[in-house]
Amino acid sequence: MPQRPDEPQAGAAPSSTTGAVSIPRGRVVLSTSSVYPEPTATAFALASRLGYDGVEVMVWTDPVSQEAGALTALSRLHGIPIVSIHAPTLLLTQRIWGTDPWVKIDRSVEIAQDVGAETVVVHPPFRWQKDYARDFVVGVAAREALTGVRIAVENMFPWRARGRELLAYLPHWDPVGQDYRHVTLDLSHTATAGSDAMAMMRDLGPRLAHVHLADGTGAARDEHLVPGRGNQPCGEFLESLADAGFDGDVAVEVATRRLSPDERERDLSESLAFARLHFAGRLVR
């Protein structure tokens, strides 16, 4: 029987585009906050063993997290890069490196430069930090221009008490309407805020530079569940990022505080598998 013109020759290799998957350049990394209260070194060991592409370091009370030399040694020991530094701008880290928030950001940027990380993640100012908040947008932009390090401001959420919402952050907990060049979008925070994560991604466009991958159910407290265990569109979100060619990093940031070591490892392995499955573009036909 004559061969159809569109049929491959016998023994010919299939087309390289048939069934191909578009893999973005962005990396899937592990935040050291995902092993809290275990030390920073535990996160490096787990990230390497489980197959993560890198580590995001949360600066907290562990002295190792505050010292570039120690972090570099861990990175070399486990053969895994440090891609981002989370500045100590949480309530729990208010006393680290003093109380001046600009000192916290500047020292985080210095560590990022020393360890080769491209991004520093920061929270917006608390409402009682009025002087800091007044100059925050301009100050962040100036530091980015001076150092070349991306300072990605994270979306937060309103605090709730007795059925009322409290404005806890200035200029706002939602970064979409603010003049930030780079933003971190946290999918546990969108759950707590009741935000539309997909709409935020579209509205941010190229300003979306970094992602914290977690899940939530919309509870009043920030949950940081394993992706797929809450009501956030984690899979759809990652797939849309991949389709758009997102080249920022996706940092798994889930809560494992009450878990045994084996349970923690299973949750972090599941989170990585979820990210690998969904952080890929649609099939190319």
CATH of the domain at 186: 3.20.20.150
The domain of 274 spans 22-279
128: in domain: yes
Nearest in space to 83 (alpha carbons), one of 106, 49, 65, 57: 57
Average pLDDT in the 59-87 region? 98
Residue 21, helix vs strand vs coil: strand
153: in domain: yes
41: in domain: yes
Which band of pLDDT confidence, cut at 50, 70 and 90, is reported for residue 8? very low
Q: How much is the pLDDT for 270? A: 98
Distance CA 225, CA 190 (A): 12
284: in domain: no
Q: How much is the pLDDT for 3? A: 40
Average pLDDT in the 44-53 region? 98
107: in domain: yes
The values of phi and psi at residue 114, to 5°, are -70, -35
Distance CA 246, CA 281 (A): 10
Nearest in space to 189 (alpha carbons), one of 168, 206, 207: 168
Summary mean pLDDT of the chain = 91
17: in domain: no
Neighbours of 263 (CB within 10 A): 11
Q: Locate 231 and state its tokens.
A: 């009501």
Nearest in space to 266 (alpha carbons), one of 55, 45, 50, 54: 50
71: in domain: yes
Neighbours of 231 (CB within 10 A): 11
Distance CA 210, CA 250 (A): 6
Domain tally for the chain? 1
Q: Tell me the pLDDT tens digit for each residue of 85-138.
A: 999 998 888 889 999 999 999 999 999 999 999 999 999 999 999 999 999 999
Which band of pLDDT confidence, cut at 50, 70 and 90, is reported for residue 47? very high
Residue 21 confidence (pLDDT) above 90:
no
Q: How much is the pLDDT for 166? A: 74
75: in domain: yes
Burial class (CB in 10 A: 0-12, 13-18, 19+), 91: exposed
Instruction: Report the residue count for the chain.
Output: 285
Q: How much is the pLDDT for 211? A: 98
Q: How much is the pLDDT for 12? A: 35
User: What's the predicted TM-score (pTM) here?
Assistant: 0.90
Q: How much is the pLDDT for 190? A: 98
Contacts of 4 (CB under 8 A, 6+ apart): none
- Select the more confidently predicted residue: 281 or 140: 140
Residue 284 confidence (pLDDT) above 80:
no
- The CA radius of gyration of the chain, in Å to the nearest whole number, is 20
- Select the more confidently predicted residue: 162 or 115: 115
